[in-house]
Chain A
Amino acid sequence: MKSLLNAWSWLFLVLILGFFEIYAQTQTGNTFLFRIYNIQSISVAASQILLLALGLTLVIVAGHIDLSIAFTTGFAAVAMALVIRFVGPEAGWFTVILAMGVGLLAAIIVGLVNGWLVAQLNVPSFIGTLGTYGIARGAALIVAGGATVSIRSDEARVLGNGHILGIPIPVVAAVVLAIICHYVLTHTRFGVHTYALGASRASVERAGVDVKRHLVYLFVISAITAGVGGLIYTSRFSAGAANAGEPILLYAVAAVFIGGASLTGGQGTIIGTVIGAFIIAVIQFGLVFCGLPPYWQFVAVGLVIIVAVLVDQSKGRLVGGST
């Protein structure tokens, strides 16, 4: 019974894929699912959401939240673009890699500030990261001069739009990071302590774990995955924008909760988050495919979030009642 309910998000993904496939077959006579272009578009959209959601999953499992990721993404994107622009069009691989390093560093700084606020100063993470959300947004806009920083770099364009074995590079990056995050969360001591922290801070403290350091690591991991999202944004669009991550913040948070995490912490998996991100990406792409105005995707994703929470609650009731 329990495993069946845990599988609901899989089922839901299959259902909406089936729905769009039937719609496509009956209305247009074409296939929705079995076109490489569609699959690639959905995967790229899902990987964008995932890059923000992966690190966020760890933070949410530990019973916290990181709202700053949206602008951590933007900050990293702008920092990378500025370095490439500073060096000039004949930048070359070295500069691109250096620029990515600077972008990641910018993200890590935001993560360290978040960790310091939450761990050292005991600021609730919702408030603390709301503050750094504003600060990172301002910092990104200030260094970018309020505009989008466009770049000309063939190397960056290859990274953002190229393929490895037919798979778009942004998707490859998201898959690699997802595997790493999954390993960390389920197979390492760090992961166990993250789950335990979400259930009871006292349990981890009395086990002799340095909880403050653990929290700082969590927020840095979250900032790194969001930062990689920014690097990919700059590479894909040959421009760094301060608000690169803003439209996906809601989707990233939604993906984590659709994937089975709980606001109170102690629950959630990377696999769940991956499914959550795909559910949102399929809805996004599918509604446009059906010819609906794109605004409907906000409504649809909003509904899915509410359904996910309701299913999660009834899961607790059903399973709690049967044991």
Chain B
Amino acid sequence: MTTILKVDGLKKRFGGNEAVSNVSFDVNEGECVVLAGDNGAGKSTVIKMISGVYQPTAGQVHFNDTVLTGKSPEAVRSLGIETIYQDLALADNLDPGLNLYLGREKTRRILGISFLDRKEMQRNAVEVMKSLGIVVPDPSAPVREMSGGQRQAIAIARAIHWQAKLVIMDEPTAALGVPEQREVMALIERLKKKGVGIILISHNLPDIFAAADRIIVLARGVVAGERKPSETNDEEIVRMMMGATL
């Protein structure tokens, strides 16, 4: 397994408050790393330093052979790191095809005038969704009519359609019902099979154990420990989240 992302000694200070003190970890190809931790442990700050939203006070992030630190969110995304936020950032009134292509829409010319190629975009969206194991009931219906799991799939489809090598997911199951949580877990498995690395933020223990290849527990801005799911249990993870280190 090759390492695709290397997070090295990240530190972030907001005024007098140190949100992240010292965080280092790696992510390999096709691996799902869960960042676990209580509220305020620094999970969100860490992923924002990876995605370019925040610049670290100290430390660096390497992606393959590129240094990400200092790059803008757009530059990080174009290198192949896609972040899926809780709100998914979908345009609910548009169909899956337009959501998939938003900002990079396909057009075709008729008599020299350019028109959106809605049909082609819908076809491709259905295709990508199928590769994620999701059947789109009506490709021309707005995504607001789809289930929470299907909507999550569109956000993920957008990431893989544009060749993301690493997908960061922030609490993807937080707002979902039980069957939809299962759908998302299945999506994560399929993404891993495609060789995509995943960083998953969660504080839902069943999710953590279902999805993770490795669990990295953050507490008060430092890595409190790293475990494989097979070598640990709920109790130990909770204890580490609460701050009893290693």
- Whether A187 touches B115, Cβ cut-off 8 Å, given contacts A192-B98, A192-B105, A207-B103, is yes
* A204 proximity list for chain B (CB < 8 A): 91, 102-103
Q: Give the segment of A3-11, A138-146, A194-202, A229-237 that binds chain B.
A: A194-202
Contact of A266 among B93, B98, B102 (CB under 8 A): B93
The answer on a CB contact under 8 Å between B115 and A196 is: no
Q: Chain A contact residues (Cβ within 8 angstroms of B): what range?
A: 20 to 34
The answer on a CB contact under 8 Å between B116 and A189 is: yes
Contact of A200 among B90, B107, B114, B116 (CB under 8 A): B90
Binary interface profile of A, 195-219, with partner B (CB < 8 Å = 1, else 0)?
Answer: 1101110111111110000000000
* Residue in chain B with minimal CB distance to A183: B113
Secondary structure at the B interface, as helix, strand, loop or mixed, is: loop
* B105 proximity list for chain A (CB < 8 A): 189, 192
The answer on a CB contact under 8 Å between A266 and B92 is: yes
Q: How far is the CB of B122 from chain A (nearest CB, A)?
A: 13
The answer on a CB contact under 8 Å between B103 and A198 is: no
* A195 proximity list for chain B (CB < 8 A): 91, 93-94
Q: How far is the CB of A201 from chain B (nearest CB, A)?
A: 9
A314 within 8 A of B: no
A207 CA to B145 CA in the complex, in Å?
Answer: 21
- Whether A187 touches B116, Cβ cut-off 8 Å, given contacts A203-B102, A208-B74, is yes
* B120 proximity list for chain A (CB < 8 A): none
Contact of B145 among A192, A199, A267, A323 (CB under 8 A): A323
**8 Å CB interface, A244-292 against B:** 266-267
* Residue in chain B with minimal CB distance to A61: B93
A188 within 8 A of B: yes
B87 within 8 A of A: yes
A208 CA to B103 CA in the complex, in Å?
Answer: 6
The answer on a CB contact under 8 Å between B87 and A202 is: yes
The answer on a CB contact under 8 Å between A188 and B90 is: no
Q: How far is the CB of A61 from chain B (nearest CB, A)?
A: 9
A57 CA to B190 CA in the complex, in Å?
Answer: 43
* A202 proximity list for chain B (CB < 8 A): 85, 87, 89
* B87 proximity list for chain A (CB < 8 A): 200, 202
Q: How far is the CB of A56 from chain B (nearest CB, A)?
A: 19
The answer on a CB contact under 8 Å between B89 and A199 is: no
**8 Å CB interface, B78-97 against A:** 85, 87, 89-94
* B85 proximity list for chain A (CB < 8 A): 202
Contact of A203 among B77, B89, B115, B145 (CB under 8 A): B89
A195 CA to B104 CA in the complex, in Å?
Answer: 15
The answer on a CB contact under 8 Å between A203 and B90 is: yes
* Residue in chain B with minimal CB distance to A209: B103
* B114 proximity list for chain A (CB < 8 A): 187-188
* A266 proximity list for chain B (CB < 8 A): 91-93
Contact of A189 among B90, B107, B145 (CB under 8 A): B107
* B115 proximity list for chain A (CB < 8 A): 187-188
Q: How far is the CB of A260 from chain B (nearest CB, A)?
A: 12
* A196 proximity list for chain B (CB < 8 A): 91, 93-94, 98, 102
Q: How far is the CB of B117 from chain A (nearest CB, A)?
A: 10
A187 CA to B74 CA in the complex, in Å?
Answer: 26
The answer on a CB contact under 8 Å between B103 and A199 is: no
* Residue in chain B with minimal CB distance to A267: B93
* B89 proximity list for chain A (CB < 8 A): 200, 202-203, 205-206
* B107 proximity list for chain A (CB < 8 A): 188-189
Binary interface profile of A, 175-190, with partner B (CB < 8 Å = 1, else 0)?
Answer: 0000000010011110
Contact of A207 among B92, B93, B102, B113 (CB under 8 A): B102
Among B87, B93, B113, B115, residue most surrounded by chain A Cβ atoms (within 10 Å): B93
* Residue in chain A with minimal CB distance to B158: A207
A191 CA to B94 CA in the complex, in Å?
Answer: 11
Q: How far is the CB of B18 from chain A (nearest CB, A)?
A: 29
A193 CA to B116 CA in the complex, in Å?
Answer: 12
* A205 proximity list for chain B (CB < 8 A): 89
What 16 new A-B contacts, CB under 8 Å, besides A186-B116, A323-B145?
A187-B115, A188-B116, A189-B116, A192-B94, A192-B105, A193-B103, A195-B93, A200-B87, A200-B89, A200-B91, A202-B85, A202-B89, A203-B89, A203-B99, A208-B77, A209-B102
Taking Cβ atoms with an 8 Å cutoff, the residues of B that contact A are 74, 77, 85, 87, 89-94, 98-99, 102-105, 107, 113-116, 145
